[in-house]
Each structure stands twice: as structure tokens, then as C-alpha cells.
Amino acid sequence: MYSKDGEQYYVVDSHIALWDARPENQRNIHGKQFIDCFYDYHRNLSPESELWGYEEYLYQGGERLMRDVFVDDIVDHAIFQPARLAEFYHRGFGQTEEALALAQAHPDKLTYNHYWDPRDGENGLDALRANAERMHLKGAKLYTADWHGESRGWKLTDPMAYRYFEACRELGIKNIHIHKGPTIRPLDRDAFDVADVDHAATDFTDLNFIVEHCGLPRLEDFCWIATQEPNVYAGLAVAMPFIHTRPRYFAQIMGELLYWLGEDRILFSSDYALWTPKWLVERFVDFQIPEDLTEYAPITTAQKKKVLGLNAAKLYDLPVPAHLQLPDADETATGPRQPAAADLTSV
């Protein structure tokens, strides 16, 4: 729980990882390239005081994770969203058993989501069923840019992926977190295309599709899809730290999301260990859209409470104290949410 100026915020970090990118786990040069890319993100977007050394960035372990994520009791709950990256790392990037054990030791604080990949075929479906039971899965993390043998990417609309969605529906895995990396196949088209989310969300209206880093670098395509699909959500992984280096850009991202999706479908996350949640929560609570960006309405305290935790708590049935709960906004299910806030109402 975070408190500031008499307001209390129930906080859910909806995207954390327990990764191992140490050299002994790197299978090839891509394992190094991948973590180096993350580290550059970290260095480029972090305040000086939050900067980590390269060595400590490679691996944190469970104890440090608990300290980093739950320091000062700000974060109430956090959700693992592991990436497999089996082609880059011997034991994978996300450390399944270590994270799962941690979640089982702290069920009030941690939820473990697991990944699946349609290219694992029938065996993968069996594994998904077994994992759902063993891990008590409520959500899944999908990385469409993961490499897999000859394949360097897949789409949510691949026929086999639909078999997995059907299994998720049957197994009660209702929250599908999608990380759209640069999907290489088909190479002819935009690697960050989010159009497949549109189709999957239309065909599986009883599943929630949370698009991580709100579709960046295709914010515009994401917003256009999400405004039409009530079961598509924006995850703020990677978008959050812009609040420090590029606050006006962050304001515009938030303004666009609130305009196209509304306040009930945006989820805070630190993307730990890319960044840590404490400073991001503190900055977000203090944040306001600059006055000269007249095309956006100011962000309200209630909206911040929803983004920081209440929206994610609803998706994961987390027990939010009654006095901290808020009703859904009285907004349209599809289409722009705040037309009156636009500066172009005279058009």
C-alpha cells in the first residue's frame, strides 16, 4: 500500500521477472545481446539513483527480488510474466522453478503466470494442462518474437495458438499477457504488428488480452484496436520509466490510452528487473499531464488508483480492502472515452 497526501493506493506490479542472464546460462551470442539490450533500456531510462551495475543486472535471485519489489511495503502484489528464450539461454531466461517456489511461499504477495508457445504442438498442450494444475495458473505470458528452431516468431492467429486459447478458456487461464517483440516471420510485414490481437480478442471475448508496453512501438495501432475491443488492456511495462526521462512523452502516452481505452483498462508495471517499482509508483502518484497539452484532461487521483492496482486486482481477483475499491467509470464499452476532453470539440 502506498500512501501520499491522505490518499491510499493499492498497488499491483503486473509484470515482474526472475531471470538468469549470467554468462554460464547464455547459450550463444544472442543471450548476451538480449540482456545487453535490456541493460541499455535500463541505463537509458533510469534516474541516476536507480542505476544498477551490469553484474547485478544479470541475475537477482529470489531474496533480492522480494526486497526490490516489496521495499517499504509499497507494492501489495506482483505477477510473474516469464519469457522462455530457450534458444538464447540453456535453462531459459525466466527461472520457472525458482519463481514458482517464491510465489508458493508468498501466495499473498505473488502470482505466477507461465508461458506457452503454439509451436510446441500437442506436447505443449499437454504441458499447459499439467502446468495449469501444478502452478494454479490464472494467466499466461506470450512472447510472439521468441525463436523456436527454424522459426523466429508466431502470431496469435496461428491455428495452433487457437487450440491453446481454447485450452486456456477451459482451464480458467483468463488473462493473456502479450509481449509483442520484433516478430521476424513474416518478414514482409511490420514486425511489431498488433493486428493479430484484434482477431484473437474478437474470437475469445471471455479472455482478457493485456498487451504489454501498450503496443509500443506501435502505440497508434494498439490504441485503434483496443478502443474497439472491450477485452483488450494496456500493460505499462517499458512505458512507465519514460515518466522520468521523457515526461511529456509519457503524458502523451497516458493521454492517448485514457482517450482510447479509458481508465479501467490500463495496468501499472515496473517490468522488474528492467526497473524497480518503488520510484515508478512515487513518480506516478506525483505525475500530472502538463497544462499546455490541452488535448488531454488532467489525470485524476481515482484514475491513478485504478492504473496502479485496482484494474489488475480485478483481473486477478485480488482482495482489495473495501474502502479502497472504486466503481468502474461510466464510460462507453468501445470507442473514444473522453471526447469532451479533446481540444477539437468544435470540429
Residue 184 binds other proteins, judged by CB under 8 A: yes
Residue 40 binds other proteins, judged by CB under 8 A: yes
Residue 346 binds other proteins, judged by CB under 8 A: yes
Residue 26 binds other proteins, judged by CB under 8 A: no
Residue 106 binds other proteins, judged by CB under 8 A: no
Residue 154 binds other proteins, judged by CB under 8 A: no
| Residue selected from 4, 129, 246, 317 as contacting other proteins according to rule CB under 8 A | 246
Residue 44 binds other proteins, judged by CB under 8 A: yes
Binding segment toward other proteins, per CB under 8 A, in 44-52, 122-130, 268-276, 307-315: 44-52
Residue 254 binds other proteins, judged by CB under 8 A: no
Is the CB of residue 303 less than 8 Å from the CB of residue 261? no
CB of 40 to other proteins, least distance (A): 5
Residue 134 binds other proteins, judged by CB under 8 A: no
| Residue selected from 128, 135, 142, 216 as contacting other proteins according to rule CB under 8 A | 216
| Residue selected from 14, 81, 144, 252 as contacting other proteins according to rule CB under 8 A | 252
CB of 10 to other proteins, least distance (A): 29
* Residue placing its CB nearer to other proteins in the complex, 229 or 256: 256
In the chain, the amino acid numbered 288 is Q
| Residue selected from 8, 22, 24, 43 as contacting other proteins according to rule CB under 8 A | 43
3 state SS for the chain: CEEECCEEECCEEEEECCEECCHHHECCHHHHHHHHHHHHHHHHHCCHHHCCCHHHHHECHHHHHHHHHHHHHCCCEEEECCCCCCCCECCCCECHHHHHHHHHHCCCCEEECEECCHHHHHHHHHHHHHHHHHHCCCEEEEECCCCECCECCCCCCCHHHHHHHHHHHHHCCCEEEEECCCCCCCCCCCCCCCHHHHHHHHHCCCCEEEEHHHHCCCHHHHHHHHCCCCCEEEECCCCCCHHHHCHHHHHHHHHHHHHHCCCCCEECCCCECCCCHHHHHHHHHHCCCCCCCCCCCCCCHHHHHHHHHHHHHHHCCCCCCHHHCCCCCCCCCCCCCCHHHCCCCCC
Residue 34 binds other proteins, judged by CB under 8 A: yes
Residue 288 binds other proteins, judged by CB under 8 A: no
| Residue selected from 162, 166, 217, 314 as contacting other proteins according to rule CB under 8 A | 217
Residue 33 binds other proteins, judged by CB under 8 A: yes
User: Which residues are near other proteins by CB under 8 A?
Assistant: 29-30, 33-34, 36-37, 40-41, 43-48, 51, 150, 152, 181-182, 184-192, 216-220, 223-224, 242, 244-249, 252-253, 256, 259-260, 295, 336, 339, 342-347
